Structure formats: structure tokens, C-alpha cells
């Protein structure tokens, strides 16, 4: 009995080291990707759903309504916005932010308003601040400056 037990205990299952390394790297890559991926809150936003859009540049005090051509351009810019974790926004953010107010309609006459403020690398959506991908926020801010 003892010799059988000894043989059973001494059996080693070889684990191919390269396979183990690949599995560990894949798991780490998945964790890193999940932590840095972010979300696109406006990916389903459509210019055809927008009834009215307005813009205000806090720094200059300028404001304007946004026409249909500009709404289509705004749609493309919003599709590229990527947000990460929530962030506390300070006074400096609000002083230089470009604000958009977008009214959408579902066809029933009942609309909803989305308020967006952009000052890279942060964005505020309906009062909640987020750290965001810098380039899309810069383009959104530059768009605001250009059309006012």
C-alpha cells in the first residue's frame, strides 16, 4: 500500500511554462483594458433627435443657438467623447468651460434636456463631472469657440 501511495504522490503533471505565461499575460491585459476602456455616453445620440441646441462660452459670455448643420457636426463630436471615472470639478473648470444645452424630442412633444460642459480633460454631463479622453473634449471646446 505504501509503495502505491508513494507512486501516486510522486506523479507530477508538467505544466508547459509558455502556456502559463500566455494565460497570465492574457489575464493582465484583460484587467488593464477593463480599467482603461471608458464608456461613450453619446454613442447613440442622433442629430435627428435634437429639437433645439444652444451653446454658451463662459469665458467670453457669448452664447448662441446651434443650426442644423452645426448640430450634425456636434453629433459627430459627441460620438467620440469617452468618459472614465467620476471627478470633482473645481472653479477653474467652470470658468473656461464651453456649455451645451441639447433638447431632444421623442416625437410625442415631450422633450428632455442634456447639459454638457467641456473643458479638457474633463467633461460634465447633467451635473456629474468625469475625467474624459482629452482630444474629443478639446474638439468639443474648440467647436464651441468657433461657432460663437
* pTM of the predicted protein model: 0.72
C-alpha–C-alpha distance, residues 142 and 148, integer Å: 10
- pLDDT tens-digit series, residues 24-69: 888 887 777 666 678 999 998 888 888 889 999 888 888 899 999 9
Instruction: Tell me which of 38 and 8 has the higher pLDDT.
Output: 38
SS3 state at 109: coil
DSSP element (H, E) containing 119: strand 111-119
Burial of 90 (0-12, 13-18, 19+ CB in 10 A): exposed
SS3 state at 62: strand
- pLDDT tens-digit series, residues 127-138: 999 999 999 999
- pLDDT tens-digit series, residues 68-122: 999 999 999 999 999 999 999 999 999 889 999 999 876 555 568 899 999 999 9
Amino acid at each position: 500500500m505504501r509503495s502505491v501511495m508513494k507512486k501516486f504522490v510522486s506523479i507530477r503533471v508538467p505544466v508547459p511554462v509558455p502556456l502559463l505565461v500566455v494565460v497570465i499575460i492574457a489575464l493582465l491585459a484583460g484587467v488593464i483594458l477593463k480599467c482603461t476602456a471608458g464608456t461613450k455616453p453619446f454613442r447613440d445620440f442622433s442629430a435627428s433627435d435634437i429639437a433645439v441646441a444652444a451653446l454658451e462660452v463662459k469665458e467670453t459670455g457669448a452664447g448662441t443657438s446651434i443650426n442644423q448643420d452645426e448640430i450634425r457636426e456636434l453629433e459627430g463630436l459627441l460620438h467620440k467623447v469617452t468618459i472614465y471615472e467620476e471627478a470633482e470639478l473645481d472653479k477653474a473648470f467652470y470658468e473656461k468651460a464651453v456649455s451645451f444645452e441639447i433638447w431632444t424630442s421623442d416625437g410625442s412633444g415631450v422633450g428632455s434636456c442634456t447639459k454638457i460642459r467641456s473643458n479638457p480633460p474633463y467633461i460634465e454631463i447633467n451635473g456629474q463631472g468625469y475625467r474624459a479622453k482629452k482630444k474629443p473634449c478639446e474638439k468639443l471646446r474648440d467647436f464651441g469657440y468657433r461657432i460663437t
